[in-house]
């Protein structure tokens, strides 16, 4: 309806001799008070200066050009300094039921995205351990956002960036090998900053079963000790392990750890309802990294200092310059990030969206600086930050440290509260807001549990239609009978149904799936209120009123199903 009214007012402005060049962006918004109509337009306010007219005079001229026989508009009034308030007819509200029942799963979809290609990269957790509940929020948010953008007419590509190169993967490989040596009977001190989880033992055991003691070495010398410096010690262990094992055997341990954990991550995400179009490997970027660095060098955006190659990031808005190549000749993580974004741009996406943990906020400026230095429009990149969720069991806050192994996995959360509750709870707040995940509430079958409350509305409707069939009654949708929907409760449901397409567009434009969770709760609430209100029994003898109410309920059920599908939550027939 907002789109329809916007087109109507745009045409009226042109008819009122306001040239197309003068027509700046104006807004159609829902009114907060029904006494002021259903929608308010600010066109006269924002165009008065250009038109050299008082806002109220311009508003009057605009109203004169609006059609007087539009079946959707009951009346139009000027309010305040020049706002134009629009009152809709009951016919406009009744028409939404037919629109929903005709479009079904397509209801609410739009073409505001105009087929623009959008690449969303999300989760992209290092494959050094299972996904924990902190990663789950990014997964739920990214998947819901992708669905929202698709519903709004964008062409969406979902990608997981696999960090399968670099120091953390080497630490994982050494952690697995040390556990393998322990299974071989070797006594080796296990560093406190190696990966500690049981999954490391599991990978080591698989190596031991398949290769016996072929990877065993007895001379892990004490000379890797670096005087108590944990980080230097683990780095020395990596170097010594590579020397003892040789390239082929070290690669075998490394690849086994990567393959097992990556497959575990992929499985967990699929069970969580998150499926990607591509899994992009960091290790495939070596040529692109070199090419990106050479491009930055050629443009004069790098310099040497203390044996390292630096990028002049501060010249492009970053707080300081950044190292690209370390003194030892190794590329930094940032160099790989530059190459990955160059690769994204070269694949021709119109817009790039990165969903990162809030702890990566410092990376935004440097990545955009690199894009500008490479000659790209940094506005093509949007970085959305997601606060990790904090999980509580009762009053106990659960720890989630991947390195120590003391964490609750996403799989454990899903198995405890279910996929539906987990997906819903993760996105019911703005992504940048802190989220306390209440396990007890997520598992409860009460109206205080929002996902249960919404699903119960869908289930109640399904139950009515089952009862209809059991009584050998037939529902026939007839728009003429909708005039019988006269109560304030039925009107509240109609008003809420009409909002759905607007919510989809707004949530997509602002990258805020939580708006949809609020809407679905609102729709469930007005439905439950209508259904429980005295005198609103549905399966009554009055054929016309029964069919009208069944049409209303079928429309509610369809919109609930559409919205729940977007956020990755099921719409059960029975609970």
Q: What is the CA radius of gyration of the chain?
A: 30
Q: Three-class SS of residue 311?
A: strand
Residue 28 corresponds to which tokens in the numbers above? 């159609």
pLDDT at 17 over 80: no
Average model confidence (pLDDT) across the chain: 91
Residue owning tokens 């443009």: 299
For CA atoms 480, 481, 484, 487, the dihedral sign is negative
Residue 525 corresponds to which tokens in the numbers above? 């609430």
Do 117-161+276-386 and 2-88 fall under one CATH topology? Answer: no
- What class is the 2-88 domain? alpha beta
Residue 148 corresponds to which tokens in the numbers above? 């929202």
What integer is the mean pLDDT of 464-468? Answer: 97
Closest CA to 160 of 104, 121, 103, 209: 121
- What class is the 117-161+276-386 domain? alpha beta
Residue 168 corresponds to which tokens in the numbers above? 């953390």
Q: What pLDDT does residue 196 have?
A: 87
Q: What pLDDT does residue 408 have?
A: 81
Tell me the angle at which helices 133-151 and 419-427 cross, rounded to the nearest 10 degrees: 80
Q: What pLDDT does residue 21 have?
A: 65
Residue 496 corresponds to which tokens in the numbers above? 């809420």
Mark out the alpha helices in 406-487 (DSSP H runs).
Answer: 410-417, 419-427, 439-443, 450-470
Q: How many other C-beta atoms are found inside a 10 Å radius of the C-beta of residue 335?
A: 24
Distance CA 58, CA 528 (A): 44
Q: Which fold has domain 95-112+446-566?
A: Isoleucyl-tRNA Synthetase; Domain 1 (1.10.730)
Residue 487 corresponds to which tokens in the numbers above? 């109560």
339 near 311, Cβ under 8 Å?
A: no
What's the CA angle centered on 317, arms 316 and 318, to 5 degrees?
105
pLDDT at 532 over 80: yes
**Where do the domains of the chain lie?**
2-88, 95-112+446-566, 117-161+276-386, 167-271
- Report pLDDT digits (tens) over 307-363: 999 999 999 999 999 999 999 888 999 999 999 999 999 999 999 999 999 988 989
What integer is the mean pLDDT of 372-392? Answer: 92
Q: How many other C-beta atoms are found inside a 10 Å radius of the C-beta of residue 108?
A: 22
Helix (H) or strand (E) holding 31: none
Residue owning tokens 């400026």: 365
> 135 vs 60, 163, 198, 500, CA distance in Å?
55, 15, 19, 29
- Report pLDDT digits (tens) over 401-430: 544 556 788 999 999 999 999 999 999 999
């Amino acid at each position: 309806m907002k789109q329809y009214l916007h087109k109507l007012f745009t045409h009226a402005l042109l008819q009122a001799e306001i040239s197309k060049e003068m027509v700046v962006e104006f807004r159609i918004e829902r009114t907060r008070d029904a006494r002021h109509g259903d929608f308010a337009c600010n066109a006269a306010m924002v165009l008065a200066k250009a038109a050299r007219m008082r806002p109220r005079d311009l508003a009057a001229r605009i109203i004169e050009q609006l059609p007087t026989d539009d079946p959707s508009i009951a009346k139009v009034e000027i309010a305040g300094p020049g706002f134009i308030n629009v009152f809709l007819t009951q016919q406009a509200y009744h028409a939404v039921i037919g629109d929903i029942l005709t479009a079904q799963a397509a209801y609410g979809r739009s073409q505001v995205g105009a087929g623009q290609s959008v690449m969303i990269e999300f989760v992209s957790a290092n494959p050094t351990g299972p996904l924990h509940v902190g990663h789950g929020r990014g997964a739920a948010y990214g998947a819901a956002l992708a669905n929202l953008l698709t519903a709004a007419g964008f062409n969406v590509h979902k990608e997981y960036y696999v960090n399968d190169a670099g120091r953390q993967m080497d630490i994982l490989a050494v952690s697995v090998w040390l556990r393998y040596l322990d299974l071989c009977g070797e006594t080796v001190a296990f560093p406190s900053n190696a990966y500690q989880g049981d999954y490391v033992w599991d990978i080591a055991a698989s190596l031991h079963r398949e290769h016996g003691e072929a990877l065993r070495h007895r001379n892990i010398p004490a000379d890797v000790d670096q005087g108590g410096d944990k980080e230097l010690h683990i780095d020395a262990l990596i170097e010594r392990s590579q020397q003892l094992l040789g390239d082929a055997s070290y690669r075998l341990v490394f690849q086994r750890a990567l393959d097992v954990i990556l497959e575990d991550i992929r499985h967990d995400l699929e069970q969580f309802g998150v499926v990607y179009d591509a899994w992009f490997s960091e290790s495939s970027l070596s040529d692109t990294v070199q090419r990106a660095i050479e491009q930055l060098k050629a443009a004069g955006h790098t310099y040497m200092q203390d044996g390292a190659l630096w990028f002049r990031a501060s010249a492009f808005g970053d707080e300081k310059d950044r190292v690209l190549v370390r003194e030892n000749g190794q590329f930094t993580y940032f160099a790989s990030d530059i190459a990955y974004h160059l690769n994204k741009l070269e694949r021709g996406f119109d817009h790039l969206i990165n969903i990162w943990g809030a702890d990566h906020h410092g990376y935004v400026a440097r990545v955009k600086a690199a894009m500008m230095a490479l000659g790209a429009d940094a506005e093509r990149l949007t970085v959305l930050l997601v606060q990790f969720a904090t999980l509580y069991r009762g009053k106990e806050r659960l720890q989630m440290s991947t390195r120590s192994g003391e964490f609750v996995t996403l799989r454990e959360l899903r198995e405890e509260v279910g996929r539906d509750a987990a997906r819903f709870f993760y996105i019911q707040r703005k992504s940048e807001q802190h989220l306390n995940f209440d396990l007890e509430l997520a598992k409860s079958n009460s109206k205080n549990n929002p996902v249960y409350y919404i699903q119960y509305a869908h289930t109640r409707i399904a139950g009515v239609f089952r009862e209809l069939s059991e009584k050998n009654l037939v529902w026939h949708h007839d728009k003429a009978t909708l005039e019988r929907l006269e109560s304030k409760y039925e009107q509240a449901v109609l008003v809420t149904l009409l909002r759905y397409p607007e919510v989809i567009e707004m949530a997509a434009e602002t990258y805020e799936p939580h708006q949809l969770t609020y809407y679905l709760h609102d729709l469930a609430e007005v439905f439950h209120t209508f259904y429980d209100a005295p005198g609103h029994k549905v399966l009554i003898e009055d054929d016309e009123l029964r069919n009208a109410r069944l049409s209303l309920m079928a429309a509610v059920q369809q919109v609930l199903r559409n919205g729940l599908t977007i956020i990755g939550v099921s719409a059960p027939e029975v609970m």
